[in-house]
Structure 1
């Protein structure tokens, strides 16, 4: 009898978020599922890990399904580390993170807890995918995203993901009839123009809210932003080797003997 694929499911919105519940449901159609996810929202945590305080891990029973589920007091990256070192009896065949409530396209991948969990799995040599839906509503409709998550995850299990690569998948918030399909593309060159809204507490202390607007500086038709704006699901292969290989030759022309 062939062993079912083992799939680790995590996220950054918290273990009870509708997005992860939707992802668990669809992954159970593809294999045996183990869930390790934060006990509270961890959006924007990036690749933070817990080193100066205790981590708590608790077995939980949220749905009536037969999957193992654990709630973790740490970050998304912590969840993957604990899953690999303390919970899973073998290396999973796939790690999926999400479905995130909101976009993780272009520069957002740097800040994303969703993608950092997937990248942590990739560092461990586990094929991994981060899924996001461009709808920040807690009660967003994940039905279309579930369909495409299953298609992409099934392909990853059958074909493998290139070594040291993690997939960043974003789904536009559109009805299924308006979806044009899946487009493999590059990360757009974009950034946030940020400001801080400075206010004062009743006690007279200053405090700040981070605000700003997202600016797409990239007008190429091969980017994730273009794909999402034009009704496609974007799939960007992301690498965790941050070396700017093209810059090595230039840096080797510098005279490091100068004082």
Structure 2
């Protein structure tokens, strides 16, 4: 009998999040699951790690299932670090993060705790995927995500990923029958046009709420934003090597002699 793969599951919405519970359920069907997830929401934490305070990991039972679960006081990246170094007896065959409540397409990947957990796994040499559903509602319906999540994860387990590559998967918020398929995409050139809503509290002290609108400047039909707008699941291979390789030749023509 073939040995079942060991799968690490994490997220940034917290260990009780419905998206995480859905992901655990799917992963239980294809491997042995260990969950190490934040004990509270950690959205938009990016790749933050805890260095100035202690970390706590507690074994918990959230709902029925064969999975082993741990609640962690740290960030999503902390969860992966602790899982690999302290919790797991061996390196997992796959790390999956999510399913995030909300989009992590385009520039959102920079801020995403979901994707930072996946990237941290990639740094450790673990094939990794971040999954997101384009619905920010806590009670979002993840049912239609299940077959696609299973298929994509199974493909990664079967085929592997190139060294340093992690998959960013976003799923449109439509019925299963409306999803046209899966598209391999590039990250769209888009960003947030941000504003701060300035207010004053009863003590006379100013405070701010971050607001803004998402602007897609990319008209390409090979992007994640195009795919999602047209009811495709977008799969973007991302990497943690941030070197702008195309700029090296130009920079080498500069004169740095004083």
Same fold, judged at TM 0.5 (above): yes
Deviation per residue, 1:138-171 (Å, 9 max, x gap)? 0000011121110100000011111110000000
Deviation per residue, 1:201-254 (Å, 9 max, x gap)? 111110000000000000000000000000100000001000000000000000
Match of 2:47? 47
For structure 1, the 5+ residue unaligned runs are none
| Whole-angstrom distance in 1 between the partners of 2:56 and 2:90 | 22
| Whole-angstrom distance in 2 between the partners of 1:64 and 1:229 | 36
Match of 1:62? 62
Total equivalences in the alignment:
258
Match of 1:152? 152
Structure 1 consecutive aligned stretches of length 4 or more whose deviation exceeds 2 Å: none
Q: Report the TM-score when normalising by structure 2.
A: 0.99
Deviation at 1:66, TM superposition (A): 2.0
Match of 2:34? 34
Aligned partners of 2:28 and 2:66 also within 8 Å: no
Match of 1:195? 195
Does 2:230 match 1:230? yes
Q: Report the TM-score when normalising by structure 1.
A: 0.99
Deviation at 1:2, TM superposition (A): 2.0
For structure 2, the 5+ residue unaligned runs are none
| Whole-angstrom distance in 2 between the partners of 1:110 and 1:80 | 18
Match of 1:129? 129
Taking only aligned residues, the RMSD between alpha carbons, in angstroms, comes to 0.5
| Whole-angstrom distance in 2 between the partners of 1:90 and 1:58 | 19
Match of 1:248? 248
